Chain A
């Protein structure tokens, strides 16, 4: 019995010893150190920054903020850390298996004012030096429309959720009536990209090298005291500072917000030359003192307002979107009426004249205050004519670029077209079915969305009107091969190559049609006195000089005069002017618009008779 007990005991001990050994062979031993990530990464910040530490597995994170190396005796991370002064954060994590991460370090420099102080001793070491310190700003910029040339299409009623300039076959690539799109023409187009020459890569986690491909100096260089210019490297094609520049001085002075000169270096030249595309923006906007040209931006007696005075930036995202642009960079809107500028002008009593106040809810400020566009400033070279048509059927030689270009038609001092706009837009992108607008007999490239019958919020705006002669095949506007056209001037071959890009046989029949687009006008506002549109510009319809509301804008009666008037009385011939006639029905009797017209204005508190 004793022997049996001893044997069983031995067996039990053997089993007890062998089981853990067997298990050790099956359960993996964790020998991998955890990885802790700080967000945002270190960099220069103009105000306090809150930093979050996250770890990729169950672990305890230890940190210091006094420059010493953390140990397991240091503070344990439990909540985001806020630094209001320059701080070096050192941290590591230890997982449940006891693996220790190598200590990491991030420095958060709180500059308190754009970093000019720290810039004063900088030595230029290449484009990467900006993102090394300003990492969070570079990350924000990288994701923005200025860098990606693509972004949220939340204000588009057509197309995918993300749209932009970049050539793509997924329907996100915008067409326009200028270069059509950038298919095959990244090089010259990229000359205005805020990068060092490479096409932007869409990624949520850009590498340090990708962040270093942002050219911060395009926007932040001091254009007056330390001008920056760049040239392509003849071998790599990437941009580099122009020879002869004191780049140390350039970076030392570069801690500033963009000036008009910085912005206009690209925005004034959009479309291929000064004032070509926008019609209300030209290089003159950066240098003129002519208040009649633009009272907001003019120097001297003008407001000398910088672009971001209206187009506010938040996290490198800019407020404001042209009606023809697909992406919006920020959901913030630009408004004329802020606490600093025209604070009361959009209220019911903001203007001196009561009749003008009646217009505020439905007429945008620009409509009355921009009487014409594509003006020449009186103190700059007359290069501000804007393009009104681009004819791809006629090739002109550009000696500088050694290539053919489509023939433009340009004009000055144009009267805007007008349309109701609710802030959203319709756009034709590459590969979309073309839509003919019976009103213009042209295929629509972009349109502001809105109607006279829309609720409050939709207003009448002024627009530049632009046409082009483009090819149409298989019901789609052809993304013409600009490369072929530039090299040969051969429109037919360029269209055929474009059709192949679109997946159509080159033998597909095509026709040449007129396309058109509307582009909202916001700039070139002259002083109100003597320049704002008078009533007679729009009223009465028969003699209106600027805008015929009844003929073109839907303000006509909802039915024949006998029917409309017959609702209350027989048709009467009235004496007096339009104001007194209209006032008798609206102001005196309080008749709602829809009693006579096909729209209503509920915000006016009128009623049906």
Chain B
């Protein structure tokens, strides 16, 4: 009887923990999040590789801001995209596009994107947007290291938040 009560309590406790868990933890499996890849360079190969790993991948139609690997060198990370998924997608993306240098959690500058963007990692964002947001270049090795070291998604977000803090330019520094 005692054992049954104990077990019941444990089951209930587990259910409560799962019920209260953040949605991203529940959606950690590949199928619930999307990888978008800008149509530059070897985007098809990257898409095929990630599809093979079970991820939902799309290569949207080109627009005038989809230019080449050098200009499309940003990765927009949806805030709900799980760490495990980023640990797979970002290294593959870096292999595919050696020019990737901006890594940004969408919403970190106060943007309020549509909900679908929160569940999407976009590879090949425009450098124009990165410069408008005053993002900082993050060395690929540092990014890969941070991915490995991050204890959880929040830690990775915090790392990216710190790395992307706007650096005052020369003019701003000169102001009294």
Contact = CB atoms under 8 A, between A and B. Distances in A.
- Contact-residue bracket for chain B: 35 or more
A366 to B, nearest CB: 27
B129 A229 contact: no
Contact of B112 (A243, A273, A489): A489
Contact of B68 (A237, A242, A487, A489): A242
Nearest to B71: A231
B159 interface: no
B127 A401 contact: no
A338 interface: no
B125 A232 contact: no
A401 B111 contact: no
Contacts of A398: 63, 65
List of 6 A-B pairs having minimum Cβ-Cβ separation, nearest first: A231-B70, A400-B65, A401-B129, A402-B129, A188-B128, A273-B64
Listed residue (A191, A400, A401, A486) with the most chain B CB atoms within 10 angstroms of its CB: A400
A399 B128 contact: no
A316 interface: no
A488 B110 contact: yes
B65 A487 contact: no
A459 B118 CA distance: 55
Contacts, number: 89
18 contacts: A187-B131, A188-B129, A188-B132, A232-B128, A234-B137, A235-B137, A242-B68, A242-B70, A269-B64, A273-B64, A399-B76, A400-B122, A401-B65, A402-B106, A402-B129, A404-B113, A487-B111, A488-B110
Nearest to B38: A400
Contacts of A403: 111, 129
B117 to A, nearest CB: 6
B72 interface: yes
Interface string B129-152: 111110001000000000000000
B73 A401 contact: no
A501 interface: no
A234 B73 contact: yes
A188 B131 CA distance: 9
Nearest to A273: B64
B20 interface: no
A461 to B, nearest CB: 28
Listed residue (A188, A229, A404, A486) with the most chain B CB atoms within 10 angstroms of its CB: A188
A289 B24 CA distance: 52
B171 to A, nearest CB: 12
A313 interface: no
Listed residue (B38, B74, B111, B133) with the most chain A CB atoms within 10 angstroms of its CB: B111
A191 B132 CA distance: 12
Interface in B50-90: 60, 63-68, 70-74, 76
Nearest to B76: A402
A294 interface: no
A272 B64 contact: yes
Contacts of B109: 487
Interface of B: 36, 38, 60, 63-68, 70-74, 76, 99, 101-102, 104, 106, 109-114, 117, 120, 122, 124-133, 137
A233 to B, nearest CB: 9
B128 A273 contact: no
A271 to B, nearest CB: 10
Listed residue (A232, A243, A483) with the most chain B CB atoms within 10 angstroms of its CB: A232
A187 B130 CA distance: 10
A274 interface: yes
Nearest to B101: A234
A488 B127 CA distance: 19
A256 to B, nearest CB: 23
Nearest to B74: A402
A506 interface: no
Contact of B36 (A187, A243, A399, A490): A399
A397 interface: yes
Interface in A228-259: 229, 231-232, 234-235, 237, 242-243
B149 to A, nearest CB: 24
A26 B60 CA distance: 81
B62 to A, nearest CB: 9
Contact of A399 (B60, B70, B102, B131): B60
Given A232-B128, A400-B124, A400-B126, 17 more contacts: A187-B128, A187-B132, A188-B65, A229-B67, A231-B127, A234-B102, A234-B137, A398-B63, A399-B76, A400-B122, A401-B125, A402-B113, A403-B111, A403-B129, A487-B110, A488-B112, A489-B112
A397 B106 CA distance: 12
Contacts of B64: 269, 272-274
Nearest to B137: A234
Given A488-B111, A490-B112, A400 B127 contact: no
Nearest to A276: B64
A401 B128 contact: yes
A402 B127 contact: no
Contacts of B133: 402
